[in-house]
Amino acid sequence: MDTDPIVELENVVAGYGAMTILNGTSFRIARGAITTVIGPNGAGKSTVFKTIFGLLRPRSGSIRVDGRDATKWSQRELLAAGVCYIPQGRNIFPELSVRHNIELGAVAAGPELKDMPARLEAALDRFPALRRKADRQASTLSGGEQKQLEIVRGLLLDPKLILIDEPSIGLSPLMVQETFTLLTQWRDKGASILMIEQNARSALQMSDYGLVLELGQTRMHDKAQAILNDPQVAQLFLGGVIGGAGAV
């Protein structure tokens, strides 16, 4: 579907212990676009991200990132290639300050990153709550604010490819909107975004492409509009045709 994809999976087989979750998963993700992955619980969506990011090693198959074989890359190599991964759930360091949490987003660039203070200030400016609580322990943030912290931390090194797993969970509708706007801005600056979302309708509405994953395999991969209009998808994942937005 795409001749110059940012990420490409080819027949990836992976799982936990003896259990196989990705059963020959293949797809090519478009460069400079937002692609939303939807699918039932347990379909293996998060497992795909863990496998791309080297936390889970494929038993067979290959992963290419930005045209290079990334199947055996370490997290540091992935970060150096401009990939960032913002996992599902809470992923902060509770006893470090908000500022120091965000600063850790630049670890991969090493100590020679000169404009670090400017980047940090820009990140704090993105969300007023983070600025206000910059010197407090990160555990004092609300759930939504913690997610905002994770997002600005992930964006600190200007990634080329953003893997973001269910950013809207636990966020107020306003915060979801802010997050989606931020991702769209990043896409407009040239980044490629691969996002998993339960909030399928609103996510697809702001996406360029949609990908339906089922039992660890690509069931459908098309323009987001086409996925939104597909009657079968609508029934299964979008909570009917009308008023499905915001359903979790």
Partner 1 sequence: MANFVALLIAGLATGALYALVAVGFTLLWQTSQTINFAQGEFVMLPAFFMLAAMHAGLPFWAAILVGLALSVAILGFAFKRLLVDPMLRHGVLPLAIATMALSTFLKESVKTFYSAEASPFPSIAPDAYLHLFGLSVSWQNIVVLGVAIAAVVALQFLLQRTRTGRQMQAAAQNPTVARILGVPVERMILYTFLINGALVALASLLISPIYLAKFSNGDTLGLAAFIAAIVGGFNQIRGAIVGGLLLGIVDNLSAAYISTQYRGAIPLCLLIVIILFRPNGLLGRAEERTV
Ligand X SMILES: Nc1ncnc2c1ncn2[C@@H]1O[C@H](COP(=O)(O)OP(=O)(O)OP(=O)(O)O)[C@@H](O)[C@H]1O
One of 23, 62, 91, 205 touching partner 1 (CB under 8 A):
91
Nearer to ligand X, 44 or 144 (CB): 44
Running DSSP on this structure, what letter comes out for residue 133? T
Measured distance CA(38)–CA(41) in Å, rounded: 9
Binder of residue 41, out of ligand X, Mg ion, partner 1, none (CB less than 5 to 8 A by kind):
ligand X
Task: Determine phi and psi for 93, rounding to 5 degrees.
Answer: -105, 100
Sign of CA dihedral 56, 59, 64, 69: positive
Instruction: Provide the minimum distance between the beta carbon of 234 and ligand X in the complex, in angstroms, as a whole number.
Output: 18
CB of 142 to Mg ion, least distance (A): 22
Measured from the CB of residue 246, what is the shortest distance to partner 1 in angstroms? 25
Q: Per CB under 6 A, does 47 bind ligand X?
A: yes
Could you tell which of ligand X, partner 1, Mg ion, none binds residue 42, using a CB distance below 5 to 8 A set by kind? ligand X
Closest CA to 168 of 224, 50, 89, 244: 89
Q: Which residues pair with 218 in a beta bridge?
A: 213
In the complex, minimum distance from the CB of residue 203 to ligand X, in angstroms, rounded to a whole number: 13
**Which tokens belong to 35?**
């692609």
Q: Judged by CB under 6 A, how many residues of this single chain contact ligand X?
A: 11
Q: Which residue is nearest to Mg ion (CB)?
A: 46
Give the position of tokens 């913690």: 146
Exposure letters 214-232 (e unless 16+ CB within 10 A, then b):
eebbbebbbebeebbebee
The residue (of 70 and 224) whose beta carbon lies closer to partner 1 is 70
Interface ranges with ligand X (CB under 6 A): 16, 21, 39, 41-47, 88
